[in-house]
């Protein structure tokens, strides 16, 4: 394929044919796994690689791929999503303040309030869906705006373009966690963000077999700063796991297309079920941010949160369903059910969780590739048996 044609290809094709600058050996159609720690140095040449913490061909192929998919200047791969988040937060220094979406992943809350707070970095949790709240929270010490959109677990949607404009006006770095949407559905850099973060464990990997994180920067300048932190801090992704992500990412579009179709059907069905108290999914027309989601993304994603009657009903549901896995992750080919209060958001103090609405009755569903009819039948059985269980003395 000629270079000029490659520049014009559509996203689904780009997933397969991203330019990596990593030469294939012997005509290999995939990037080889360079499972090495060090590289022989030619003392008379400018060597591209010297030590795998500083750079590895397989990891670099992944980093170049995600940078192209997000439309960014540079990409970086880390040992986990939290390693990616923590490395980006290393861009800030003592005395800096960061505005953060109050509806955020528990691990993000923990690292900000229990680790980076030790270094004098202050976090202000605000409702970033309310642009006036962002503006009101800015002080002379504010240096960053950290957004989850859609948020975890309530799928609240922040106007990334407008929020980024506010941040730029005040000289802040805008960081967006794009894990739930992936670059296929949403590209925050094109909306004005400076940095995008993914827990690549989720949709980018897609098969629940690798733990990883990726970061993409809009500018070369920020890229150099993140590169310094990556090399100095050393929380890099290994070549084997980099290769697994390169393999998984090729099916991102087809996986998400199917998962979204099923999610939309399930969300509508759950909304109409008499035993479900509330459904949180941007694809529902009564979701408060439905129109905004349509405007800034090309889909609604495949995560649904929903509340049942009480904590007892939620626990019975988790014990009774047979198809989804019950666990703390998402984005895999199998459906995964999470109980945020005791799993993904357990690190947030109970009082704070409940203030934010994360009660024992809330469940989060990552829709997989099972047939929608089978998932619906499984859920119907679990919900109805929950009612029977509650009524039985």
The answer to whether residue 177 is catalytic is yes
**Which residue in the list 96, 159, 177, 241 is annotated as catalytic?**
177
CA 107 from centre of chain: 12
In sequence order, the β-bridge partners of residue 322 are none
CA distance 67 to 245: 14
Residues 105, 109, 184, 203: which is the catalytic one? 105
The active-site residue out of 14, 143, 202, 253 is 202
* Residue 224 is among the residues annotated as catalytic for this protein: no
Judged by DSSP in three states, 100 sits in strand
What CA–CA distance (Å, rounded) separates 85 from 121? 14
Whole-angstrom CA distances from 126 to 96, 130, 166, 295, 372 are 16, 9, 14, 23, 36
- β-bridge pairing 97-101 and 122-126: parallel
In angstroms, the CA 77 to CA 388 distance is: 48
Structure tokens at 128: 């970033």
On whether the CB atoms of residues 198 and 213 are closer than 8 A, the answer is: yes
Q: Which of 6, 53, 271, 309 is catalytic?
A: 53
Query: Under a CB-based contact definition with an 8 Å cutoff, are residues 31 and 61 in contact?
Result: yes
Q: Active-site residue 53, yes or no?
A: yes
103 is a catalytic site residue:
no
Query: How many degrees, rounded to 5, is the angle at CA 261 between CA 212 and CA 208?
Result: 20
Q: DSSP label at 52?
A: T
Q: Which residues are catalytic?
A: 53, 105, 177, 202
């Amino acid at each position: 394929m000629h270079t000029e044609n490659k520049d014009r290809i559509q996203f689904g094709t780009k997933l397969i044919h991203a330019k990596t600058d990593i030469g294939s050996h012997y005509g290999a159609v995939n990037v080889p796994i360079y499972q090495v720690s060090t590289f022989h140095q030619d003392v008379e040449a400018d060597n591209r690689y010297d030590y795998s913490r500083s750079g590895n061909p397989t990891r670099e192929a992944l980093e170049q791929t995600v940078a192209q998919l997000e439309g960014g200047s540079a990409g970086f791969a880390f040992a986990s999503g939290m390693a990616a988040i923590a490395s980006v937060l290393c861009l800030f220094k003592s005395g800096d303040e960061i505005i953060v979406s109050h509806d955020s992943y528990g691990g993000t809350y923990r690292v900000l309030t229990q680790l980076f707070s030790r270094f004098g970095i202050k976090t202000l949790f605000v409702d970033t869906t309310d642009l006036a709240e962002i503006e009101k929270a800015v002080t002379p010490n504010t240096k960053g705006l950290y957004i989850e959109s859609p948020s975890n677990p309530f799928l609240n949607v922040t106007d990334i373009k407008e929020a980024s404009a506010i941040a730029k006006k005040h000289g802040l770095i805008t960081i967006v966690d794009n894990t739930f949407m992936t670059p296929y559905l949403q590209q925050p850099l094109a909306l004005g963000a400076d940095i995008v973060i993914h827990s690549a464990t989720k949709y980018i990997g897609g098969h629940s077999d690798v733990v990883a994180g990726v970061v993409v920067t809009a500018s070369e300048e920020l890229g150099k700063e993140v590169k310094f932190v990556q090399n100095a801090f050393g929380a890099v992704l290994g070549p084997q796991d980099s290769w697994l992500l390169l393999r998984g990412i090729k099916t991102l579009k087809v996986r998400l297309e199917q998962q979204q179709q099923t999610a939309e059907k399930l969300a509508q069905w759950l909304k109409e079920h008499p035993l479900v108290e509330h459904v949180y999914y941007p694809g529902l027309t009564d979701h408060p941010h439905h129109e905004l989601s349509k405007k800034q993304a090309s889909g609604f994603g495949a995560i649904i949160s929903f509340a049942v009657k009480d904590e007892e009903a939620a626990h019975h549901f988790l014990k009774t369903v047979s198809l989804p896995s019950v666990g703390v992750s998402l984005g895999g080919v199998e459906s995964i059910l999470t109980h945020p209060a005791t799993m993904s958001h357990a690190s947030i103090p109970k009082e704070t969780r409940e203030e934010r609405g994360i009660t024992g009755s809330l469940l989060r569903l990552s829709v997989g590739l099972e047939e929608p009819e089978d998932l619906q039948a499984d859920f119907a059985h679990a919900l109805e048996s929950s009612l029977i269980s509650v009524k039985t003395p």
